[in-house]
Structure 1
């Protein structure tokens, strides 16, 4: 028996884009390089600092419901592509393991641009990828404490916390702990991606190749096609992979990598050279988002640029080129929220959409997915209870998981 769907007159993308093909498949992990595929983890003898699955759990999106104004998604937060392995260096196993999360999240069906101040992204989920896995922002929730001269949790206890002005990039500080699919998890087991979700992109045919022998992914740029819809933000706008139409409103234009509107503050393009001046000023986007002046007080300075904290270590090491007389659509493609108004295969009449940002080498480019603030009005998020009448669009109904081919997608 296949997973059940309930028909809908017109399937809008916010209903039809969720990845349910593998909803009856148990989540799978490779614990160590060259190891066997497991459906429970971790094995005895491996470090376990949190998370794990002692029983098998289903992967991807498990249920989709909707009302006139919202779509509700249930998932375990576990991907159907192979997850793991995770290391903290070339030989040491990370010790945090993914575990089922019982997500129930809601997304507005009729998104609107924010009027007035835009909402800052918080920690934890800022949306959800279409496979139901966690969608975190590009930060690791640590920031620099000027008085303590080190990076500390921004939400730490008084006297032992970061200042929240120089916010550490997860890609710079945590990338060693990402699996080949480009995700990891903290001690609570919430598997999540901070940047380009490579495993999901491969599953959805987003210009990626996969080497099953080495469990690695790479960009495939020979003949590009428009990226698929990969996720949804809590303001209700879609998130696409890194490739779109070169002319925003022309679906007949060529396919191109969407160029981020951000550049490192190294003195080029009119930016401040932080290596020379020190981290004494905020870029304009950060000053606006944080409600701070650009010129900081001495007790707000960040650390000097060093090999330990190079340019790119903090989000505030990047400047938005639109604040330096460069033009979106000519010099770069994506606005300060990391999106643009454009046509896409799912929206032939146009929509606002975020895009995953990568550079010309395929490496993640700041701000990775969504900028410091949402473009739209945020009315989505965790839905502890559903207090309105809803209709079921999809629900996994098969009692037994698919175990026919553990090595395929």
Structure 2
């Protein structure tokens, strides 16, 4: 299997295109063969099958990672075409921290069949292997059951063919991203955005952030399925390990957004994280807050705080306990909801490690690219940092054959425009 730990650091390309990062397995000769880098995608060259995730039709293990990557010309535009069934081949060594996280779940007594996980420190767990969870009823016994906590369905094969433009185009209009796929990782796993599709009291305002409300709904690799589609909303330590991303240099390439721009891991340099320029509102501040200091207003435009605020349905108090779809309880602290955030353009203006409104920036080696964002506290604990992978809008134009879509009548510049 072709394993990728390539960051693009060896490329002098400054145009943010995919030409140097594709596998050409077709007869297409429009690209110079010397420019094709086979190490970027994690290709299943041996036909390896998942041991624990079965094809729902054949009962045979699903092929892991990426099945094929080709370059195709569609209406005089070149695309990288990625085929994947969406099942990774993660292996996780159970550490004391992982075990403590499992046993420390607030509903551990009911989340696990026997009231506690069945793994011990040092166990090596492959993707889909039973760790003791009382999984969703759609999870077949011995094939996915026990790997996912109660709530999410277990993934099966998710046949997809993804078209990525070799040369992404900066968008000339505002293009909001939404639920379902917004990109693909180099191992074929789907990327989803910040949302879980729910809001406080189902009123539309105060939209829930997936990494917050779904904290107890993801597996030990930080992923889960929507229907059959396994995906990540935020940084995955399992993918980082596959790619050899230990924070000692600029992170390697983790995937691509639907617009074709690359997504790199969280590190900008040795020990230095890329920093999101989205910040939490101070509700007592006259500029971004509300008159009562509570969640009683939202920003007219989270990209332009000069436009002020507008009244919306009251959100929860900052100490209110709210319940997620999976029945877990959370304190709705500031930062739990989408409306708690805004883009601080003054941070982006600082340059360097600070990212733009799309959660990306440009450098001389990689051109324009997104970063997965997170924070690390003094104890080494990792927390996802909003907007987690790509911003709430795409930086690039979505092609007609893109894996995602957007709709907006508002004009606005893309990166470098």
Distance 1:22 1:119, change over 3 A: same
Once the 2 structures are TM-superposed, how far is the Cα of residue 10 of structure 1 from its aligned partner?
A: 4.3
On the 8 A contact 1:338/1:355 being kept in 2, the answer is yes
1:71 aligns with 2:80: yes
Match of 1:382, SS state, is coil
**Separation (CA, whole Å) in 1 of partners of 2:214 and 2:224:** 9
Distance 1:110 1:11, change over 3 A: farther
Match of 1:201, SS state, is helix
**228, 235, 238: which one aligns with 2:252:** 228
- Alignment match, 1:297: 311
Distance 1:75 1:268, change over 3 A: farther
On the 8 A contact 1:22/1:59 being kept in 2, the answer is no
Listed one character per residue, the Cα deviations across residues 69-111 of structure 1 (whole Å, up to 9, x for unaligned) are: 2111111111111489999942413412111100111111111
**338, 343, 358: which one aligns with 2:359:** 338
Listed one character per residue, the Cα deviations across residues 297-356 of structure 1 (whole Å, up to 9, x for unaligned) are: 34x44333334222122112112221xx4453358611111000113xxxx2x4110000
**Separation (CA, whole Å) in 2 of partners of 1:182 and 1:200:** 10
On the 8 A contact 1:230/1:239 being kept in 2, the answer is yes
On the 8 A contact 2:283/2:289 being kept in 1, the answer is yes
**Separation (CA, whole Å) in 1 of partners of 2:369 and 2:285:** 26
- Alignment match, 2:403: 382
Match of 2:302, SS state, is helix
On the 8 A contact 1:261/1:332 being kept in 2, the answer is no
- Alignment match, 2:221: 181
Match of 2:213, SS state, is helix
What is the 5 A alignment of 1:9-408? 9-10=32-33, 17-20=40-43, 24-28=47-51, 38-40=52-54, 54-68=59-73, 69-82=78-91, 89-90=107-108, 91-92=110-111, 93-95=134-136, 96-115=153-172, 117-144=173-200, 150=201, 152=202, 162-163=203-204, 165-186=205-226, 188-207=227-246, 221=247, 224-245=248-269, 256-266=272-282, 272-273=288-289, 277-283=293-299, 285-286=301-302, 294-298=308-312, 300-308=313-321, 309-322=332-345, 325-329=346-350, 333-343=354-364, 348=365, 350-361=366-377, 362-379=382-399, 380-382=401-403
On the 8 A contact 1:127/1:381 being kept in 2, the answer is no
Listed one character per residue, the Cα deviations across residues 345-393 of structure 1 (whole Å, up to 9, x for unaligned) are: xxx2x4110000001332111110111101111115239xxxxxxxxxx
On the 8 A contact 1:76/1:103 being kept in 2, the answer is yes
Match of 1:363, SS state, is strand
**Separation (CA, whole Å) in 2 of partners of 1:271 and 1:79:** 45
**Separation (CA, whole Å) in 2 of partners of 1:307 and 1:14:** 51
Once the 2 structures are TM-superposed, how far is the Cα of residue 25 of structure 1 from its aligned partner?
A: 2.1
Distance 1:334 1:52, change over 3 A: farther
- Alignment match, 2:121: none
Once the 2 structures are TM-superposed, how far is the Cα of residue 198 of structure 1 from its aligned partner?
A: 1.9
Aligned-pair Cα RMSD in Å: 3.6
Listed as ranges, the gaps of 5+ residues in structure 1 are 29-37, 42-50, 145-149, 153-161, 208-220, 246-253, 384-409
> Which structure has more RCO (C-alpha within 8 Å, separation ≥ 6)?
1
On the 8 A contact 2:299/2:309 being kept in 1, the answer is no
On the 8 A contact 2:184/2:191 being kept in 1, the answer is yes
On the 8 A contact 1:263/1:319 being kept in 2, the answer is yes
Listed as ranges, the gaps of 5+ residues in structure 2 are 3-22, 112-133, 137-152, 322-331, 405-417
On the 8 A contact 1:285/1:320 being kept in 2, the answer is no
On the 8 A contact 1:25/1:80 being kept in 2, the answer is no
Listed one character per residue, the Cα deviations across residues 3-26 of structure 1 (whole Å, up to 9, x for unaligned) are: 995696346579752211576222
- Alignment match, 2:8: none
Match of 1:311, SS state, is coil
